C-alpha cells in the first residue's frame, strides 16, 4: 500500500498517469483508472470488443466490412508501382499480445505509389496477421488475412500520418491448401514463431531474409477499394483500404504455427478478427 503522507507519491502518481493515458490514446489499453493507492489498467482484447474506445463503437466509417460482390461499383485505377531497391532483406517479428507483427529492417527501401491512392509515395510500416480473416466477401470468412500498413512519406511517422489521414492499408486474404508450395519467407516466419509465443518480448530478429512479394498475390490489379478505419483500437478513421481480390495460399502447418501465440492474458489467441462493421452508405469500388 502506498504511503499517502510521502511527498513523492503525488509526483509518481502524476507521472504514471501521464504514461498510462498516452497508452490509452494509442489504443494499447482501453481504460485507465488512477486512485491514490492503486492503478487499474484495462487492456483491450477481442473478448471485450464492446469496451473498446469510443470511436470504435460510434464511428460511421469503421472496418472491417463484408464486401457484397453484387453491390460494388466498377472503377478504373492506375497500376500500383512498387519501388523496391532491396527485395530480399532481414526483418523483425513481434507478438504484441494481440497479433503477430513483422517489419523489414530497411522499410525505406519499400516505396509504393499509384493505384489511385490519395497520396504520392507510401512507406511500409509493418504487416500483421488476423485469423480468421477480418474482411469477408459475400459473407465468407477465410482462415487468415494480412494487413500491410503504409503511410505517406511526407509525414514523420505513422502517428503523424494517422493524425492527417495519411495512412492506407493493403489487405491480402489467405487460404490453406495441402498441395501448395511453402514460400521461403513464410517458412522463416513459421520457424521464429516459437520465439514469440508469449507477448512482451519485444521485436525478435528473423533468422533469414524475407521478400515482400511472397506475401502478395501475383495480380495486384484486381482489388476492392473503400474508406474505413484501423481494425484495432483506437479505430482511427480516414484509412483507405485496398482489399486484393486474388487470394494467396499457404500450407496448413504455417497457419497453425501463427495461431499458436498467446495473448496478454496468457491464453491462446484462437481468433484475432473484429466483426464486420456497417457500411453506413459507403461505396465500395473494384477493378
| Beta strand segments in the chain, E | 29-34, 39-43, 66-67, 73-74, 80-84, 88-89, 91-95, 100-104, 110-114, 122-130, 136-137, 144-152, 167-176, 204-205, 210-211, 223-229, 237-244, 248-250, 285-286
Q: What is the DSSP letter of 46?
A: T
Q: What's residue 42's pLDDT?
A: 54
More confident residue, 10 or 207: 207
Instruction: Note the pLDDT tens digit of each residue in 136-169.
Output: 999 999 999 999 999 999 999 999 999 999 999 9
Query: Could you tell me how far CA 2 lies from the centroid of its own chain?
Result: 39
Contact at 8 Å (CB) between 271 and 132? Answer: yes
Task: Please give the model's pTM, rounded to 2 decimal places.
Answer: 0.86
Average pLDDT score over residue span 254-271: 93
Q: Is the dihedral of CA 4, 10, 14, 16 positive or negative?
A: negative
- What's the mean pLDDT in 102-126? 94
- Whether residue 82 contacts residue 221, with contact meaning beta carbons closer than 8 Å, is answered with no
Lowest mean pLDDT among 3-7, 109-113, 259-263: 3-7
Q: What is the mean pLDDT of residues 95-116?
A: 94
Q: Where are the domains of the chain?
A: 9-43, 59-286
Residue 137 has which C-alpha cell?
A: 466477401
Domain 59-286 sits in CATH at 3.10.200.10
Distance CA 262, CA 248 (A): 25
Average pLDDT, the chain: 88
Pairing type for strands 122-130 and 100-104 reads: antiparallel
Whether residue 234 is preceded by a cis peptide bond, meaning omega within 30 degrees of 0, is yes
Question: What proportions of the chain, in percent to the nearest 5, are helix, strand and coil?
Answer: 20, 35, 45
Q: Return phi, psi of residue 223, to 5°.
A: -160, 160
Amino acid at each position: 500500500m502506498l504511503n499517502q503522507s510521502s511527498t513523492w507519491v503525488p509526483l509518481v502518481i502524476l507521472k504514471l498517469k501521464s504514461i498510462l493515458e498516452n497508452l490509452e490514446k494509442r489504443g494499447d489499453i482501453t481504460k485507465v483508472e488512477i486512485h491514490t493507492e492503486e492503478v487499474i489498467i484495462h487492456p483491450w482484447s477481442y473478448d471485450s470488443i464492446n469496451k473498446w474506445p469510443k470511436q470504435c463503437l460510434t464511428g460511421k466509417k469503421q472496418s472491417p466490412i463484408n464486401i457484397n460482390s453484387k453491390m460494388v461499383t466498377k472503377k478504373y485505377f492506375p497500376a500500383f508501382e512498387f519501388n523496391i531497391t532491396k527485395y530480399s532483406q532481414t526483418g523483425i517479428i513481434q507478438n504484441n499480445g494481440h497479433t503477430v507483427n513483422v517489419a523489414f529492417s530497411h522499410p525505406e527501401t519499400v516505396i509504393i505509389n499509384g493505384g489511385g491512392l490519395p497520396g504520392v509515395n507510401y512507406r511500409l510500416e509493418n504487416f500483421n496477421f488476423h485469423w480468421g480473416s477480418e474482411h469477408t466477401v459475400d459473407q465468407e470468412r477465410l482462415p487468415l488475412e494480412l494487413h500491410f500498413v503504409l503511410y505517406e512519406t511526407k509525414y514523420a511517422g505513422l502517428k503523424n500520418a494517422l493524425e492527417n489521414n495519411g495512412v492506407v492499408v493493403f489487405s491480402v486474404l489467405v487460404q490453406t491448401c495441402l498441395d501448395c508450395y511453402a514460400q521461403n519467407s513464410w517458412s522463416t516466419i513459421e520457424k521464429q514463431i516459437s520465439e514469440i509465443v508469449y507477448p512482451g518480448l519485444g521485436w525478435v530478429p528473423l533468422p533469414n531474409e524475407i521478400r515482400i512479394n511472397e506475401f502478395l498475390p501475383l495480380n495486384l490489379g484486381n482489388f476492392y477499394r473503400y474508406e474505413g478505419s484501423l481494425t484495432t483500437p483506437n479505430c482511427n478513421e480516414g484509412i483507405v483500404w485496398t482489399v486484393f481480390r486474388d487470394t494467396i495460399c499457404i500450407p496448413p502447418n504455417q497457419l497453425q504455427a501463427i495461431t499458436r501465440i498467446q495473448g496478454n492474458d496468457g491464453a491462446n489467441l484462437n481468433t484475432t478478427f473484429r466483426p464486420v462493421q456497417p457500411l453506413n452508405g459507403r461505396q465500395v469500388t473494384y477493378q
